């Protein structure tokens, strides 16, 4: 039997059957202290796909970081077949400052594929696309809602990408959402390389939510099992699962205080009062009504809103276990 070759990454060789912690260095702090991004690589003795578990692309999205941490802590990142790369915190600057952006004010997820001599965020994107992305087969990228926007557990992909759509179904989050690929996003860049990509969204920034993390961990285990990388004794989820092909944001018609009437993940019918907006002096109160039948899968939980702010994301749903002619 031919012996498996070592896995080469960031100038290091990881022998078959070994787990190694590497360091990705791109920049330094103002004190000249180097910023080091840990990269944990587990290379199995037997051949299989290479899976990347990526979190912290936005430094304040802690649920994803906690998801990868738990997987590493429990040793679930060590495959019997293939290779698993874990990057628990990619945007280390944002993580240190509980911030979404880089110190240069840029959103890392809007500068891919990056440039060698560009902005700080662009350099991070460039190194990732040059050194790490080409070595992967499948990427699971963990995110949360920004600011006070709370995402119900969901995976997103372009439904025209059948391989990624299949992996989202295997992941089995409550919602699978047909999502257009944004220009200069990591998803846009890695799919151009032919990589399968799952975007998981769960919870909101600067929080750790056990349900969101548990959903992400279990989904990752299902994907690893499906890819033949490692066996997990894990059952299908008990909750109902839905696909969403069309969605829309419901925005504030007035500025004021927002009181919510519905829960995230709830099914509502057209005309349902989702919340009310009022002034602090009791002069007016406006109802925010649903324009369609569908599921609420993102809720803005900020108490004070301005006219035009996005409040609820609602989507028309399909049950993935029901064929189109049965709906």
Whether the CB-CB separation of 54 and 187 falls below 8 Å is answered with: no
Whether the CB-CB separation of 220 and 53 falls below 8 Å is answered with: yes
Residue 128 DSSP one-character state: I
Examine the pLDDT at 237 and tell me if it is beyond 80. yes
The Cα–Cα gap between 241 and 78 comes to 29
Rg of the chain's alpha carbons, rounded to an integer? 21
- Give 306-321 pLDDT, tens digit per residue: 999 999 999 998 654 4
Which of 220 and 121 is assigned the larger pLDDT?
Answer: 220
Q: What pLDDT sits at residue 178? A: 95
The Cα–Cα gap between 288 and 303 comes to 14
H-helix or E-strand spanning residue 12: strand 12-14
Query: How big is the CA angle at 259 (ends 254 and 262), to the nearest 5 degrees?
Result: 115
Residue-range domains of the chain with CATH: 7-226 (3.40.630.10), 246-326 (2.40.50.100)
Please, which residues bridge with residue 175 across strands?
154, 242
Residue 229 DSSP one-character state: S
Q: Is the peptide bond before 113 cis (omega within 30 degrees of 0)?
A: yes
Whether the CB-CB separation of 181 and 160 falls below 8 Å is answered with: no
Whether the CB-CB separation of 199 and 55 falls below 8 Å is answered with: no
Sign of CA dihedral 237, 215, 51, 175: positive
Does the predicted model carry a pTM greater than 0.85? yes
Whether the CB-CB separation of 153 and 212 falls below 8 Å is answered with: yes
One DSSP character per residue, 40-93 reads: EEEE-SEEEEEEEEE--SSTT-HHHHHHHHHHHHTTTT--SEEEEEEES-S-HH
Which of 43 and 96 is assigned the larger pLDDT?
Answer: 43
- Give 27-76 pLDDT, tens digit per residue: 777 788 788 899 999 999 999 999 999 999 999 999 999 999 999 999 99
Tokens of 18: 């070994």
Residue 104's pLDDT band, with cuts at 50, 70 and 90, is confident
Helix axes 62-73, 210-226, angle to 10 degrees: 50
Q: Which of 153, 246, 150 is nearest to 201 (CA)?
A: 153
Residue 2's pLDDT band, with cuts at 50, 70 and 90, is low
- Helix, strand, coil share of the chain (percent; to 5): 25, 35, 40
The Cα–Cα gap between 146 and 129 comes to 24
Place of tokens 């180097």: 34
Task: Tell me whether strands 294-300 and 267-268 are parallel, antiparallel or unpaired.
Answer: antiparallel
Examine the pLDDT at 173 and tell me if it is beyond 80. yes
Examine the pLDDT at 273 and tell me if it is beyond 90. yes
Residues 6+ apart with CB under 8 A from 206: 60, 62, 98
Examine the pLDDT at 323 and tell me if it is beyond 80. no
- In the chain, the percentage of residues whose pLDDT exceeds 90 is 84
Residue 301: how many CB atoms within 10 A of its CB? 14
Q: What pLDDT sits at residue 318? A: 67
Q: Which long-range contacts (CB under 8 A, 24 or more apart) does 12-19 make?
A: 14/41, 14/43, 14/83, 15/43, 16/43, 16/44, 16/45, 17/43, 17/44, 17/45, 18/42, 18/43, 19/43, 19/77, 19/78
Residue 327's pLDDT band, with cuts at 50, 70 and 90, is very low
The Cα–Cα gap between 290 and 293 comes to 7
């Amino acid at each position: 039997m031919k012996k498996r070759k070592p896995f080469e990454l960031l100038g290091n060789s990881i022998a078959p059957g070994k787990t190694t912690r590497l360091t990705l260095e791109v920049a330094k702090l103002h004190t000249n202290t180097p910023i080091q991004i840990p990269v944990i690589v587990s290379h199995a003795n037997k051949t299989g796909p290479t899976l990347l578990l990526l979190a912290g692309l936005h430094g304040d999205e802690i649920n994803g970081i906690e998801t990868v941490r738990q997987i590493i802590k429990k040793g679930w990142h060590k495959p019997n077949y293939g290779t698993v790369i874990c990057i628990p915190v990619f945007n280390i600057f944002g993580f240190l400052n509980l911030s979404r952006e880089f110190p240069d004010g840029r959103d890392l997820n809007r500068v891919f594929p990056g440039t060698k001599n560009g902005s700080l965020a662009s350099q991070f994107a460039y190194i990732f696309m040059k050194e790490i992305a080409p070595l992967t087969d499948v990427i699971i990228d963990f995110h949360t809602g920004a600011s006070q926007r709370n995402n119900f557990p969901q995976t997103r992909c372009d439904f025209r990408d059948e391989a990624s759509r299949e992996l989202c179904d295997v992941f089995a989050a409550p919602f699978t959402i047909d999502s257009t690929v944004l220009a200069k996003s990591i998803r846009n860049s890695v799919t151009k390389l032919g990589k399968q990509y799952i975007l998981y969204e769960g919870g909101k920034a600067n929080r750790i939510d056990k349900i969101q993390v548990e959903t992400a961990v279990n989904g990752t285990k299902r994907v690893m099992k499906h890819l033949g990388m490692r066996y997990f004794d894990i059952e299908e989820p008990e909750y109902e699962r839905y696909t969403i092909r069309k969605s829309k944001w419901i925005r504030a018609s007035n500025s004021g205080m927002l009181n919510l009437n519905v829960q995230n993940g709830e099914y509502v019918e057209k005309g349902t009062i989702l919340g009310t907006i009022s002034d602090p002096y009791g002069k007016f109160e406006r109802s925010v009504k649903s324009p369609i039948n569908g599921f609420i899968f993102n809720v803005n939980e900020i108490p004070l809103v301005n006219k035009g702010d996005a409040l609820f994301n609602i989507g028309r749903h399909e049950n993935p276990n029901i064929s189109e002619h049965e709906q």
